[in-house]
Chains A and B, each alone.
Chain A
Amino acid sequence: MSALMKIQRVTGRPIPLRGNDIDTDRIIPARYLKAVTFDGLGQAAFFDERFDAQGNSKGHIMDDPKFLAKGPRVAIVNKNFGCGSSREHAPQALLRWGIKALIGESFADIFFGNCVALGIPCVTASEADVAALMQAVEADPGHDLTVDLEALSASYRNTSYAVQLPPGVRNQLLQGTWDGTRVLLDAGERIGQTAARLPYVRGFGN
C-alpha cells in the first residue's frame, strides 16, 4: 500500500519488442525466480534473448545503442504479450529495466492484472497502429513517446495514435487507486459477511 500515486501520462524512450505470444518464461527465465526479493531482476529481463551462454550480447534491440536511454521507457509489443506463467517477476523485471508502460495489440490476462497491480498501464492499439508505431520508432529512434491515459493516445514525433484501456482500470490508474490491498480492505465487515453466507466456511454445519 504505497502512497496514492496517480498515473495520468507516461513519457519515455520507446522500445519495440516484436513478436506474438511472447511468454513470461522468455521475459524472465525461471532460474531468476530463485530469490526472496524482486531486486536485481532488471538486468535479467529477456536474458536468454539478449545474451548467449557465455554472457555475450546477441545484439538484441534492448542492447542496441540506438535505443539506449536513461530514464523511463515504453515498450511496444504485438499480440498476447505475457502469456504463460503467472510470475509477477516478468512485469517486475520489465519495470526494473525501466519500462513504465506498454502499448500492444493484446495482453495475456494474468500479465495485464499483474501490471495494473504495479501501476504499469498496458494500453492496446489496433494492429495497423502498432505496426506504424514500431516502424516509426525503428526508423527514427532516440525520441520520447508519450502515453496519455486521459486523452487515450500515444504520440511520437508529431503523430498521435488512439489507444484503449478498460474504463475501470483507467480510472484506477488516473485516481491512484490501483493498489489492490488498500481498496479491498476498505470493504471491512462485508468480507466476513460474505464468508458467513458460504456453507463451506461453516464446515457444512446444520
Chain B
Amino acid sequence: MAKTLLDKVWDAHTVTELPSGQTQLFIGLHLVHEVTSPQAFQMLRELKLPVLYPDRTVATVDHIIPTHTQVRPFDDEQAETMMREIERNCRDFGIRLFDRSTGNQGIVHVIGPELGLTQPGLTIACGDSHTSTHGAFGNVAFGIGTSQVRDVLASQCLAIKKPKLRRIEVGGTLPPGVYAKDVILHIIRMLGVKGGVGYAYEYAGAVLDRMSMEERMTVCNMSIEAGARCGYVNPDQTTYDYLGGRPLAPQQGAFERAVAWWQSMASEPGAGYDDVARLDGSSLSPVVTWGINPGQAIGVDESIPRADSFPADEREVAEDAYGYMDLRPGTPIAGTRIDVAFIGSCTNGRLSDLREAARVAKLGKVKSHVKAIVVPGSQEVARQAEAEGLDEVFRASGFEWRLPGCSMCLAMNPDKLVGRQVCASSSNRNFKGRQGSPSGRTLLMSPAMVAAAAIEGAVSDVRRILEGTGR
C-alpha cells in the first residue's frame, strides 16, 4: 500500500509500541535553547542520568538574548543567569553549543537548516512550538514541553501518539506582493486555529513546489498556529540543492547516498489521507491579522468581519478581539495606524525575507512616529544581508539594524511593546500581551507588508507600493 512521508518516518523511528497506546519514537535531532531546558537538565542531574546521544543534540541561545548589544555580562541579571546555565549544562553533558563566539548563533529554527542539521526523513524535537518549521525539509518535527525535553535528553525518545494527516494543496501561482506568509495565514483563517488539533499537515501543490526552502519554512513554521503540531513538505530537488555543501549536511559520496534515502521517504502517489483541503493561490491577497489569534486574518483589501460572520464558537473571541484591539467591525484594515514595525523571527527572519522587505524599504522613509527594527534570524543571515548591503538600505530608510535573536516576537528580552502600541509584525502570534506589553497589539503580516506599513505609518497594500502607483 502506498505510504505517506509521515508513515515512513514514523515506522523507521518506532522503537516500540507502548502499553499507553503511544509510540516510543526515536528522535533523530534534538534542538535545545536556553528557556525550556534548564529544568530538564536539573532533573537529569537529580536522576543521575547522562544525555544518551549528545552528538544528536545541539544547542543555541535565542529567546532571551538582547539585540542591541550582546556584550557579556548582560544588563539583565536573569538573562545572564540563564546564559550561564545553558553554558554549564552543555559543558557538563557534552552538547555542542552554537553561541555567539561560533559565528553560527541564531534562532534555533534558523540555524538548524542553515547548518545542514535539518534534513529529510528525520524526527526532530525541540522545546519550542515552532519546531514545525523544520518540516519544510520533509521530516516530522514538533514542539515539546520541558518534561519531554528531559525524556529526550535521557532516552533520545518520546512517547507520542501518531497524528492524523491532512493534505493541503495550494494550486495556481501567487500574484506579485503575495508571499508564503500570506499563504499560511490564509490556511489558518480557512481551517481555523483549532482545525489542526490531532493532525499533521502535509503541504503540497504547484505553489509549494515552486517555493524556495525559506518560503516553505515560513509555511511549516505556523502549522502550530493552525493547531497542527507538525507540518511538512515532501523533499524534492529544491531541498537537496539547499542542503548540498552545508557544513553539517552529509558531504560528497555520503551526500548522494543521503539524497537517495531522502527521496525514498517522500509520500507516494495514491497514499491515503485522513482529509484533503485545497485552495487557489492565484486568488490570494496580502493578509493581515486584525484580532488576538492568527486565524483572525483578512486580506489587506477587506474590512474587519462582523461577529455574526463567524461560527458560533468563534464569536465570543471575535467580540473580545474588537475590544482588545480597539477595531470596529466593518472598518477596512488598511489605514490602521501603527507605532512599531518588527521584521524578524523564526517565521520571517531569513535572507529572502529581508531582501523582500528591503525592496519596499528603499521606496520610502519610516514615518517619524514609527519605531522600526530589523532583526536577522542568525549571525549567518546578518553576514549575508550585510554583504548585500541590506543593512544600509534599512538604515537609510529609518530602520534599526539589530543583532540576531527572537527579539520582539515574544519579548523575553529588552525588545517589547509599550502600553497599547500597535505593532506591524512579521512574527507568528498576535495573542494578547504576546509582544511584552499586557495591552500591546499585534498585526501579523509578511515582511514586505511590515516594511510598507513602516513607511506609510499605517497598514498599506504592498502591491500598490511595489507598483509605484498612488504614492
Contact = CB atoms under 8 A, between A and B. Distances in A.
A35 interface: yes
A114 B24 CA distance: 16
A195 B144 contact: no
B317 A204 contact: no
A79 interface: yes
B326 interface: no
A37 B37 CA distance: 10
A86 B433 contact: no
Contacts of A117: 145, 147-148, 151
Nearest to B40: A88
Contacts of B15: 187, 190-191, 194
B356 to A, nearest CB: 26
Contacts of A172: 20
Interface stretch (B121-129, B177-185, B203-211, B272-280): B121-129
Contacts of A19: 316-317, 320
B396 interface: no
Interface residues of B, number: 86
A108 interface: yes
Contact of B154 (A30, A177, A184): A184
B385 interface: no
Nearest to B225: A84
Interface in A87-140: 87-89, 91, 106, 108-110, 113-114, 117-118
A26 B431 contact: yes
B441 to A, nearest CB: 14
A182 B281 CA distance: 48
Contacts of A30: 410-412, 434, 436
A88 B129 contact: no
A38 B35 CA distance: 11
Contacts of A200: 28, 119, 121-122, 250, 258, 261
Interface in B354-411: 410-411
Interface in A37-87: 37-38, 48, 53, 79-80, 83-87
Given A33-B35, A87-B145, A184-B159, 5 more contacts: A109-B197, A118-B147, A171-B21, A197-B12, A198-B13
Interface of B: 12-16, 18-22, 24, 26, 28, 35-36, 38-39, 42, 47, 49, 52-53, 56, 63-64, 76, 78-79, 81-82, 85, 119, 121-122, 127-129, 131, 142-148, 150-151, 154-161, 163, 193-194, 197-198, 224-225, 227, 229, 250, 254-255, 257-258, 261, 293, 313-314, 316-317, 320, 410-412, 429, 431-434, 436, 438
